[in-house]
Amino acid sequence: MSDTSYSKIIYNGLWVNNPAFVQLLGLCPLLAVSNTVINGLGLGLATTLTLVASNVMVSIIRHWVRPEIRIPVFVLIIASTVTIIELSMNAWFHELYNILGIFIPLIVTNCAIIARAEAFASKNTVSSSFLDGLFMGLGFTAVLVLLGAMREAIGFGTLFQQAHLMFGEAARGFTITLFDDYRGYLLAILPPGAFIGLGFLIAGKNIIDKKRLAREKLLSNEQVEVPAPAAS
Amino acid sequence: MHSSPYIQNNENVSRMMLAVIYALIPGTLVYIHFFGFGVIINIFIAVITALICEVVILKIRNRPVKPFIYDGTAVLTAILLALALPSLTPWWLAALGAGFAIIIAKHLYGGMGYNPFNPAMVGYAMLLIAFPKEMTAWIPAEIHGLNFFDTLNYSFFETLPAGMNYDALTMATPLDSIKTQLSLGYTLDEIHTTNASLFGNIAGYGWEWINIMFLIGGIVLISIKVISWHIPVSMLGALAFMAMIFNFSDAGSYSPISFHLFGGAAMLGAFFIATDPVTAAASNRGRLIYGAGIGILIYIIRTWGGYPDAIAFAVLLMNMAVPMIDYYSKPPVFGAPSKG
């Protein structure tokens, strides 16, 4: 991957190797906090920040860390990054921090982060590692927000509720009520809703990929290689 | 390793499904007698929804529609789901449950013969988790005073006749109220004397007759060899055994055997739900283990769990264990050296 162009890194992070859709990494926080758009966005951005910071640091020190001890070093870097983010969220987004609770410190266990450190940042330049972290994180955030929107719409019948937790008091009015007098559908908010929702999202992505592949085949009339899911 | 449904052609399946549906009739009639026309409205809505979903999904999946519709599995799933619902419910409850059962629990897993979980019970469990209030409020047996149009009116517009109030009209099932009042510190004797009208002669006014009718229907099914005896007998036996031990140890806080067998949905579950050939274990030995597992789980969930009745969760949990049961209860191949 060392000769990857920037646009390929972006495409990789957002679609081809999307950590949540394709690599299925970091499912625990993904499934646990994606019950509203704002929760998803909050955790997604925190994860993105961690990914960018850890990728950049790992990439900077990549020539000086002996391969035998690289994993403990990566873990230390990730843990300190997460601690910084956790403390800052506690200070500036305290209510959101209370809602996301344990899942902020648990970002440290998100396999997507150490996977990117190991598979990408430890072998690539600082600038491409930065980009990789950013777009892997944004890909993860996109799935979180999409799943959050699905679950919030079906579960509560609203979108962007409690937006003030992230965007301040002015955002209280952001909440969109989709259905008036909606009873709520508890299942979508509970964990089963997350599993079913993610299943549908992945199925949707696979359909799009298949259609695309068929069209490309039709256009070029030759075998196109299927993007293989990264093993990690 | 063998896998469950040994289905040669669709005629066999539809014959079997038809026999099961006929065997449900006596229990269903008694159910309607005690709990009103809501039962039949629920069955109607669930069957229509299930058939529509089945046709739509088969079309999407490019499968032949006709043989799969006529095999009757979707209809049976819908009826079993509807029989598990309280009788006074809004229409969308039955529709949502049946749609979920057919689309998610059946077709997303590959359709008839491939689903690991009993579709009717998946639909029921989903409804119970998503709508706990609607799913646990039952009208009192026989004295509810609602006619067909009142029930229809409630089903579609959620309005009750003047002077009636949903919260005042509905109540908990015998199983549910025993659990609540035990947790408040009453003994079984006190609960039974203060709520004599709810509990009837054996296990709950109305409930006991519904269970007896399902038991008769189930025995007919066994005698005409549509289902084998292994699952019902081991399930009811395990449930009775658990009830006996605990009732014997402390009769003041653990209900007797009769209450567990006739007070909830035990008979419906034992003969009609747990025996689903697709999701149950395949060999006879496996079926005994599978049935006993369900019986024990029902007792555990009823007595110490958070939900009033436990058929759905017990069946789903044992569905999960079926591949392992099948693996370890595989009948030896003829001629293979025996271990013993």
Whether A196 sits inside 8 A of B104 (CB atoms) is: yes
Q: Is residue A26 part of a domain?
A: yes
The values of phi and psi at residue B118, to 5°, are: -60, 115
> In which residue are the tokens 């025995």 written?
B219
Q: Is residue A192 part of a domain?
A: yes
Q: What is the total count of domains within chain A?
A: 1
Return the amino acid letter for B28.
T
- What are the angstrom distances between the C-alpha of A175 and each of A36, A72, A145, A186, B268? 11, 43, 15, 19, 46
Return the amino acid letter for A39.
N
Q: Is residue A1 part of a domain?
A: no
Q: Is residue A147 part of a domain?
A: yes
pLDDT tens for residues B245-300?
998 888 878 888 888 888 888 899 999 999 988 888 888 899 999 999 999 999 99
DSSP state of B147: -
Residue B132 forms contact with A (CB below 8 Å): yes
Q: Is residue A232 part of a domain?
A: no
Q: Is residue A97 part of a domain?
A: yes
pLDDT tens for residues B83-133?
999 888 889 999 999 999 999 999 998 888 888 999 999 999 999 988 888
Interface probe, candidates A183, A195, A202, A207, chain B, greatest B C-beta count within 10 A? A183
Whether B132 sits inside 8 A of A186 (CB atoms) is: yes
> In which residue are the tokens 């758009």 written?
A37
Tens-level pLDDT at each residue, chain A (232 residues) = 444 588 888 888 888 888 878 878 778 778 888 888 888 888 898 899 999 999 999 999 988 888 888 889 999 999 999 999 999 988 988 888 888 878 888 888 888 888 888 888 888 888 989 999 999 999 989 999 999 999 988 888 888 877 777 777 666 777 777 777 777 788 888 888 889 999 999 999 889 989 988 888 888 765 555 555 554 4
Please report residues of B whose CB lies closer than 8 A to that of A187. 126, 129-130
Give dist(CA B170, CA B167) in Å, integer: 6
Domain range enclosing A208:
6-220
Q: Is residue A230 part of a domain?
A: no
Instruction: Report helix angle B73-84 to B91-100, nearest 10.
Output: 140
Give the pair of three-digit tokens for residue A189: 């908010």
Q: What is the pTM of this model?
A: 0.82
Give dist(CA B70, CA A46) in Å, integer: 53
How many Å is the Cα radius of gyration of chain A? 19
**Please, which residues 146-185 of chain A have a Cβ atom closer than 8 Å to chain B?**
183, 185
Please report residues of A whose CB lies closer than 8 A to that of B126. 187, 192
| C-alpha closest to that of B276 among B239, B241, B310, B322 | B322
Residue-wise over B155-186: b if at least 16 C-beta within 10 A, else e? beeeebeeeeeeeebbbbbbbbbbbebbeeeb
DSSP per-residue codes, B10-52: HHHHHHHHHHHHHHHHHHHHHHHHHH-THHHHHHHHHHHHHHH
Q: Is residue A156 part of a domain?
A: yes
